[in-house]
Structure 1
Amino acid sequence: MQKQTIALVALFSILVLFSFCQKNNPARITKIKIIESSALSSTSILVTAEIIDLSAEPKIELGFCFSETNQEPTVNDAKSVAGSYAKSENIQFLLSELKRNTTYYVRFYITENSETIYSNTIQQKTLNLPTPVVLTKNIEFLKANLLKTNAEIISNEGSEVLASGVCWSKNSLPTITDLKTNENIASGFFNSNISGLHYGSKYYVRAYATNAYGTDYGKQIEFSTITPTLPVLTTNPASVITITGAVSGGTITNSGGLDIIKRGLCWSTSEKPTLNNNFTNNGNDLGEFTVYLSDLEIYTTYYLRAYATTELGTGYGNEISFKTASTYISDGDDNYYSTVQIGRQTWLKQNLKTTKYNDGTPIRNITNNIEWVQATQPGYCWYNNDETNKAKFGALYNWRVIEENKNVCPKGWHVPSYSEWLLLIAVLGGDNEAGGKLKATTDWELPNGGATNETGFTAFPNGLRYKSNGVFAGANKYANLWTTDQNTDMATVIYLSYLQPSAYATLALMNDGFGIRCIKD
């Protein structure tokens, strides 16, 4: 009895072990075979292969390898990848862009893990027809249902090309009896746009060229269209906030596969603003855009979202809110400014924008580079001579504006001295960290070292204009603000950089162009 028990246990153990091995070592492919081939044209061969007893192991690659000289071609010869299959079935594949009237040796292969298995070899000769030689090069999506196909006609084989283009279908091996374009290109490179494709569908496309002897095709490319979505975008924080206006904008990071019809900002005094509320229209491009809002109510909370519209609908960015200022300061041009108190000092929150002294005397707008270099009188300009930079950066002034015995700041305000700047920097922890507390957190080039804007000072990278040649530089990288301090033919300027959180002083030429940030008397 004990011997029988031991025998049964041993038998059971063997069965368990056998079962375990079966699960962890699945049967490999026992047979792959090419069962049929035919020449379809002077440059293509249609091959059918049979797979029997396909194992459960994942297939790294399967397809056909071929050669003109090697009677047992391998994957080191020419090959065409056919895709992956999960069960036993026949695979039909078109070898394209071959040589005319040429015999090829062809084998089917499957690669599992590190092992490649080959089928029998067949011989097949392409036809001896002088049809054109055309290549399908590649494809690229222009939008969700618009595709560009690039192709090339290598040779007309001695007979004029009568038609050329691309043909496509939801079925494999499209021909000119399916949908097609006609580009009327006789030789060389060409491209064709395919439109009206169905969303979320698989298609096959290949180039074609026709002469008096017939039509030949390039290789087939398989592709699938995407299902479009609403645009994806973000809303920029509000800045340069005054009693009746603010600056914001957005960034479209993904169009959803369709053309943008319009984009902009929508806002309301209620949450979740839409196009049913106030909105702007700021074009139809991708990427970042900036919007200057005006005619807002004083001391009012607004909710704001960027939007982008396609034929599918409208996508919205994240919601931000801001409150317009309750008090304002105006300059000689009636530009409005809000204020911020830091320590015992009160500063304007925006760079000066005026084109006049506060007594109404105009300041010359100098756009010409040579005139800027040679100027002996007060002058100003907008960065890149583009007034759209006014709202965010303010104006760039030469130091002669400050040197003049007139006040360019609003009444009750003045251009700060170096000592007043030093006091501000000291209150903020010294020159190694003050810059980060003064810099805006947007519109600076990265890394925008240490920027927190915890003071609300909101220094933007207004750049500069050189005295040496009148050229503009440094926008989005550097903030440069004049002081009243003069040193012979130079003056002191406060400098902030995108690279670090520091704020420090340097000397500049009087005809350099920098910004002005006014301080209260």
Structure 2
Amino acid sequence: MRNQLIPTILFTFVLHSIVSCTLEGESKQLAVVSTNKVVSVTFDAAQSGGFISFDGNADVESRGVCYSMLPNPTVKDSVTVDGSGLGDFYSYLSGLRPATTYYVRAYATNSIGTAYGDEIQFTTYGTVTNPVTGRIWMDRNLGSNRVTISLSDQEAYGDLYQWGRGTDGHEKRYSSSTDVLSTGDHPGHGKFILSNNIFEDWRNPQRDYLWQGVRGINNPCPDGFRLPTREEWVEELDTWSQGAFESVLKLSSAGYRSYQQDTIRYGSGTNSEYRAYGFYWSSTLSVAYAYALIFYIRDTSRVTTHAFMRSYPRAYGYSVRCIKD
């Protein structure tokens, strides 16, 4: 009896070992990670992150993003370390060079190795100089991740600010909205404020000291930059020989956000009407309104046909292009 048990026990042990080894080898693998879109780009910083949907049946010990000025960055390049485990994580990239293209990938490391997400490319803020006026401008709209490559380049549209408001989240194109007006300079939330008051402003009472210069309250521009004045926009317009995109600034037809219907409009109507708009705030006031640059193009020509300054209600959501002080 004893001799019969030995082969049985030995067989069971070997079988268990083989099955355990096979299951272990099949179950442990690289994690699955995706890379978040790069946002909040500035001259020297940006934000990204990732999402780990599967840990490979092995604990994710380290996660973050790796980035480089060359494609296919790895953890041997610059990295952020943003915790461990499954789920979302957010990464802050700092110490970047201005006007430089970077490549970013999220990573997740477990006992098997390091997995990478898709590669995303972005370019930090730079400047452009108008050779006629000598004015130095940012090379893109606030909120844009790249310089415009065409008049209708959606990746270069950027954010839409209500006049006088800071960067609190309301400027994002699809932020939620509210019809409750703010009684202060800082609403305390990131909702786009709809307005039906007599002044058509997001703030009640109105305040004229907002957005006035580099030290102005709620100035959304980077350090050393501010909103251009009406006069500075007019000077810029006088140097245009063709149109908005063909100018030094390469302005895009980024549309606007309405404070009445809470819709984003890029153009209107039939072939005989205006097809694409660009609206850009200035810091200059016009009684209860504020001046903005507006340009539009026809449906068929795709060329700027009119560009001028006009005053508009402050509750509108328009683009912002900053100028160096």
Q: TM-score, normalised by structure 1?
A: 0.30
Task: Give the number of the structure whose alpha-carbon radius of gyration is greater.
Answer: 1
- Considering Cα pairs closer than 8 Å and 6+ residues apart, tell me whether 1 or 2 has the greater RCO: 2
